[in-house]
Amino acid sequence: MPDAGKPKSFEQALAELEEIVRALEAGELTLEESLARYKSGVGLLQSCYSQLREAEQQILQLAGEDTEGKPVSQPFEHMSADVRPAERRRARRSEA
């Protein structure tokens, strides 16, 4: 387990988030425990989104060739990196 000062890896945060979801779905927690786990889950979700955005910025997209025929790349920009899940749900609803 990582120490308290070191951020969790994406995989660790995602695994912990999945555990929280399972515990909340089981319905066996008290209200206080549920709220505490929910808050922890929100923090983990934000951490995952942040790490995904950082990873996407490292991915390069081929944008064509320069005058010498060498490949030209640009930072990968994907809409879902900037859109929160609730905003995506609203967008889907408005399309239907």
* 70 within some domain: yes
* 15 within some domain: yes
* 71 within some domain: yes
pLDDT score of 84 more than 80: no
* 80 within some domain: yes
The per-residue pLDDT of the chain, averaged, comes to 80
Q: What pLDDT, on a 0 to 100 scale, did the predictor assign at position 67? A: 86
**Residue 42 structure tokens:** 């929100």
- The total number of structural domains in the chain stands at 1
Residues in the chain: 96
Q: Which of 37, 10, 32, 35 is nearest to 22 (CA)?
A: 37
* 2 within some domain: no
Mean local confidence (pLDDT), 75-89: 57
Residue 73's pLDDT band, with cuts at 50, 70 and 90, is confident
* 91 within some domain: yes
pLDDT score of 64 more than 70: yes
Q: Which of 83, 84, 58 is nearest to 73 (CA)?
A: 58
In terms of residue numbers, what domain contains 51? 10-95
Q: How far apart are the first and last CA of the chain?
A: 44
* 5 within some domain: no
Find tokens 């387990």 and name the residue.
Answer: 1
Angstrom distances, CA of residue 6 to CA of 3, 48, 51:
6, 15, 14
